[in-house]
Amino acid sequence: MASYSSCCWVLFFLVMGGLGGCVISSKISLGSRLTASRGEAWFSDNGTFAFGFTTCPGTVNNDDDDDDGDNNDKLFVLAIWFSKLPGDPTLVWSPNRDYPASRNAILELSVTGNLVLSDGHDILWASNTYGTGVKSASMEESGNFILYASSTASRHVWQSFSQPSDTLLPNQPLTASSELRSSSSASHGGLYALKMLQQTTSLSLGLTYILPNSEPYTNYSYWQGPDISNVTSNVTAILDPAGSFGIVYGDSSDGAVYVYKNDNDELGLSYSSHQTIPFNTLRRLTLENHGNLHLYRWDDDVNGSRQWVSEWAAVSNPCDIAGICGNGVCKLDIGKTNASCTCLPGTSQVGGDGLCYENSSLVGKCSSQHEIKNQTQTSEFNISVVQQTNYYFSETSVVANYSDVATVSKCGDACLSDCECVASVYGLTEETPYCWVLRSLDFGGFEDSSATLFVKVRSNGSMTPEGKAEGSSNNSDDEVEAKAVVLPIVLSMALLVALLCLLLYYSVHRKRTLKREMESSLILSGSPMNFSYRDLQIRTCNFSQLLGTGGFGSVYKGSLGDGTLVAVKKLDRVLPHGEKEFIAEVSTIGSMHHMNLVRLCGYCSEGPHRLLVYEFMKNGSLDKWIFPSYQGRDRLLDWKTRFYIAIATAQGIAYFHEQCRNRTIHCDIKPENILLDENFCPKVSDFGLAKLMGREHSQVVTMVRGTRGYLAPEWVSNRPITVKADVYSYGMLLLEIIGGRRNLDMSFDAEDFFYPGWAFKELTDGIAIKAADRRLNGAVDDEELVRALRVAFWCIQDEVFMRPTMGEVVRMLEGSISVNTPPMPQTVTELIEEGLEQVYKAMKREYNPYSSFTLTSHPSSHATCSNSTMSPR
């Protein structure tokens, strides 16, 4: 242990760091110790991190009767924290956060190599490294506290990085055997965990709400990251120093799946997993006590203050988090950002956290005698109805599940007649009604307009305003009759009011019934916000500002109540294709969330009207920026922006090809369907041609629909359609991004009108720079240009098996895998052999500059399908 004089020697550093304990070297020898009463800590070399004792805010040790110091009534935790930041310490690791120690606590690195936290005669925590040859310890600049087995610090026996608490630091691995855990709630013992969720053939990161003290042990997973299939070892989640978070896998950690990718991350997850990269920006990934996973960055200038800034959160809707209201109901405010908690009948708020928990004197749980005489339950219990409310529950909570009409229509009675039941849930799954009978209410409820919750409570129990008991009181009827005799005038008024209420109820109920039937008929369960047609008329100024037109309708500019700009797509006619496009877009886009996919904000399905509400893209579609035009003569994207758009677009397509629960084929990848936001971040739009494909199928039967020039050969050759059709379309799109012109442009002469042909010739001749957009005047990266051209020609190969997957396209463009020289596509070869000049003359005679480029279904063109497993290629 360092002497008191050495502690005073570094007093200046203590004052600068705002800490009250001694600063001891980052290299700690055997026999060193820290005491809680002095608030001592060990610091990293540059003072970024501290490891030692810090006080728990708001905690008091009532058992300590001493009063000779300010710390006498405080409790302490052993922790690692950012030592240079102002304000309360930001803890990143602690072994005793749920059971703090008194001021008498001591941390000692014993001569036997064991790191022990003791409080009096009690051992609160130990590293269990006794007899492992520990020689020294060190607080590293990475935030990792390490016990070394040699004086040269070349081999470590134990490290804090391997036993995370609720925070992940850059380069800290989270393996399949470890997890992040939030602190336990003092009132109900619930906590949250981030860990790998193992499925039959895949695994993914997941957020789980856990009730460890329940009988039996129960948990509920409410958020999952992308799935990783067919990986059995070396799977690690990691936060890299540039701010990206995801999973690396494989024997050399070469594979990577991003949960969140920072735009400024140039090296990527795979590189970070092999390197110990110093980081200039402080970041942390923290599992909050309220169940959300946040990525924070320290900012020294936020409107004149220094604070943590959230860069990403796993869950955007707080009501999607199980247990956030205890077992109560979570409700969003009008802005859909803040949540409030409402208790169910038979529950009440406990403690100061505002959460709801069961009151055993009110909840309807019957004793064993009722199992014999169920008929007595009718008088002893009531059913309280909570409208427009659904509930999270696990399999262990289910008593029964009914789908027959007779039982479902009396879902509340089904619970009342079942002794085990405490609540039942009625709702619709697609077009099928269901009734779940539950034996426990543990994970909380949420607003759902298509569901109803029935809670069983004791007849003599008090009710909360949220619940309305079925049945009526005879005493109330007697009182009304007495008042009718004494006060006939009051009775007349009451009858009049009752009649008006009945008419109002009938009107409202009729509207709700019609709306529910319409929504269920369109299979929109769980879709985005539902707008009325009148709402969208107001928000678009009666559809006065036209942004553009598409194959099935027009797009108008609008504004929501908070000023957010939106694009409203109005389907002009409700034909079979139009309705299919509407349902496909809502169900597909509404379930997809990626930074390179257009976000669907809402929809309208009212009578004959079908409208979709998208986020507004300030810079419009990509074609307006890469193709020369008189209106866009001042618009020119430099090479760096084009290459970024190419990679980001590929990442968006790869997401719905490979990472979604249901694989999706877009069927119409083209520049007009790539939209750009104010930062020129591309987002893939228009999923009207999309067709969902289950994981067990790789092919899909669909009508031939798309845009000429981007359609893969299999569309017109009666071959099965797979995701590789989108790869072909992307290849044609990539060529147009490189060349800054249409692949087939009759405004050029016979030698240049077919861009893929002469671009391939320039590539093979070693002068790829001539294939780049001439307006760039050669200002391109030669290596990136050659790589992009090679990738494009691999994508447009006629044989499906020769085309890469979109995941491989992303890795080839990023340079993580090499790209060989591709052969000339057969279609290009045949066109050149036929003679470009003859083809040009024939097309020139048929060319009509005003003709549509949209190819619709043809009676004789059908894509056949067979069921098979999705192959890597």
CATH number, domain containing residue 542: 3.30.200.20
Do 231 and 301 belong together in one domain? yes
Nearest in space to 77 (alpha carbons), one of 91, 97, 62: 97
Q: What tens digit of pLDDT does each residue of 590-631 get?
A: 777 888 988 888 888 777 888 888 889 999 999 999 988 766
Domain boundaries, position 600:
529-615
Return d(Cα 812, Cα 572) in angstroms, integer. 41
Do 190 and 302 belong together in one domain? yes
Q: Are 604 and 610 in contact (CB under 8 A)?
A: yes
What's the pLDDT score for residue 465? Answer: 39
Do 634 and 605 belong together in one domain? no
Give me 743's structure tokens: 């692949």
Return d(Cα 557, Cα 539) in angstroms, integer. 9
CATH number, domain containing residue 306: 2.90.10.10
Do 720 and 701 belong together in one domain? yes
Q: Are 180 and 164 in contact (CB under 8 A)?
A: yes
Residue 778: helix, strand or coil by DSSP? Answer: coil
Rounded mean pLDDT, 434-455 = 89
Q: Are 710 and 674 in contact (CB under 8 A)?
A: no
Which stretches of 333-444 are assigned E, i.e. beta strand? 339-342, 347-349, 356-358, 381-391, 398-402, 423-429, 432-438
List residues bridging with 436 in a β-sheet. 401, 425
Q: What is the DSSP letter of 621?
A: B
Residue 492 placed within a domain: no
Residue 800: helix, strand or coil by DSSP? Answer: helix
Residue 595 placed within a domain: yes
216 prior amide bond cis, ω within 30: yes
Residue 205 placed within a domain: yes
Is 570 annotated as ligand-binding? yes
In this structure, of 347-361, 565-579, 742-756, 811-825, the range with the lowest mean pLDDT score is 347-361
Residue 792 placed within a domain: yes
Residue 737 placed within a domain: yes
Burial annotation 559-575 (CB, 10 A radius, 16+ → b, else e): ebeeeeebbbbbbeeee
The last residue of one of the domains, among 140, 162, 184, is 162
pTM above 0.75, yes or no: no
Amino acid occupying residue 123: I
Do 288 and 372 belong together in one domain? no
199 band by pLDDT with thresholds 50, 70 and 90: confident
Return d(Cα 868, Cα 862) in angstroms, integer. 19
Return d(Cα 682, Cα 676) in angstroms, integer. 5
Task: Give catalytic residues, as residue numbers.
Answer: 668
The last residue of one of the domains, among 99, 127, 162, is 162
What is the maximum alpha-carbon separation in the chain?
A: 106
Q: What tens digit of pLDDT does each residue of 84-130 get?
A: 998 889 999 999 988 899 999 999 999 999 999 999 999 999 999 98
Do 291 and 385 belong together in one domain? no
List residues bridging with 313 in a β-sheet. 294
Q: Label residue 724 left, alpha or beta by phi (over 0 means left) and psi (-120 to 50 means alpha).
A: alpha
Do 706 and 748 belong together in one domain? yes
Do 142 and 171 belong together in one domain? no
Residue 631 placed within a domain: yes
Rounded mean pLDDT, 721-735 = 92
Do 78 and 118 belong together in one domain? yes
Residue 189 placed within a domain: yes
Return d(Cα 315, Cα 321) in angstroms, integer. 8
What's the pLDDT score for residue 188? Answer: 57
Return d(Cα 84, Cα 107) in angstroms, integer. 22
Rounded mean pLDDT, 46-68 = 69
Residue 722 placed within a domain: yes
Rounded mean pLDDT of the chain? 78
CATH number, domain containing residue 694: 1.10.510.10
Do 157 and 198 belong together in one domain? no
Do 815 and 737 belong together in one domain? yes
794 band by pLDDT with thresholds 50, 70 and 90: very high
Split into its structural domains, the chain has a count of 5
Do 729 and 656 belong together in one domain? yes
Q: What tens digit of pLDDT does each residue of 404-419 get?
A: 877 777 898 888 888 8
The last residue of one of the domains, among 564, 595, 615, is 615
